[in-house]
Structure 1
Amino acid sequence: EYKALKGKDPSPVELVKKIEQLEVNLAERERQVLEKELLVDQLTRLSKPLSEQAESCQQDKLSLAKKLNELRAHIIDTNHRMMAATAELSMKQAVTLALQQEIKEKECQQQLEQGLPPCPEMEEEWKRMLREKKRRQRNKEERERLAEEVEWTQLPNGEYTTAEIRPNAYIPENDTLPLPKPYGAQAPFKPSQPGANMRHIRKPALKSLET
């Protein structure tokens, strides 16, 4: 038994039209697929040299990395050799300086044995020390002379003394014309430093200088 479906069957003309439409759609799909296949083939042909170039670059990269490592190793080895050569040169320089010093000492010893200065440098240093000693001696004598001149004072009669000059005149306070007048019999004198017993001594009365 079967169940009848609703609807109607298409006519042969409609079926033919539908088949033709499907064939057109199929042809269009096939054309699109063919275009895509052609595009894929073209891209494959274009990408093949690039892939080969990439592989070649990879090989070149590996080769360059290997050469770079070799150069680094060579540089490190060269640095080690230079450091060793520098150390050896420093040792030779130290030995050379020691030999030069020994030769110089022997020459100085020979000069001393002959009664000559040991070396020009030491002779110049000795002369410089002598000049410095004479200069200090002259400066010392000059300072002493200046100190003596400061201590000595010239008197009016032309003589020199180390005593402090005593005043021999004064200026009156009430005089309209302040001219110095010589001291009379009561010339002042320089008192000594007051001692502790000054508190027991009465203050003296001042005498007039005009008498």
Structure 2
Amino acid sequence: MEEIIADPANESRKRDLGGKDPSPPELLRKIEQLEIELVQKEEKLLETDLLYEHLSWLLSRVHAAAEDGKQDTLLIAKRTNDMKKKIKVRTQKMMALVAELSMQQALAIKLQQEVRDKEQFLMIVSSRIDQGLPPPEEIENECLKILCDEKMQKEAAEARAKHAAEEEQAAAPGYIRTTAEPRPTAYIPSDEHTLPLPRPYGALAPFKPTEPGANMRHFGKPLVKPIQV
């Protein structure tokens, strides 16, 4: 096949194509038509570019609005949460106030009942006094209780005053606070040639034996044996 096509003497190696070539005027008209179509395509392309730019601008605005909306939504959500917290705190305070008000109302009702009872009791006591009868035992017990309370308060006041005096005495210079029994630290000489003034014992103070304790009950008394002469 290659040899047949490469042989220049072979007439059958070429094949003429049918048809005819257009004339120059036809080619010019064809070129003008193609140029017109090219211009139309360019116009459409420009319109498409303008439309694309406009859509891009609109999309950018929509995107910016969406971002602003996100920020606004976040801010609104934060404010909503803050308001919910405040409402919760106020609700708790209101519930506490309602509970306290209920307690105060119950206390007021109780006090009113006590006032009515006291008034009734006072009327009974007044009627007994008018009749020359002694007051009820409750009044006597109440009076004894009041006297006992006054006595206890008086003793407590005296104890506080005594404690304050002891603290004031303890604050004096040279004072030694102790619970031991006081012992003599000086003696009065019996010499006729000296004045009867207290004289300190010094290093050889008299010995004071301790009192027998409770453990002495464990020891028996010694048996006194008779002396045989």
TM-score using structure 1 length: 0.49
* Structure with bigger RCO (C-alpha 8 Å, 6+ apart): 1
Q: TM (normalized to structure 2)? A: 0.45
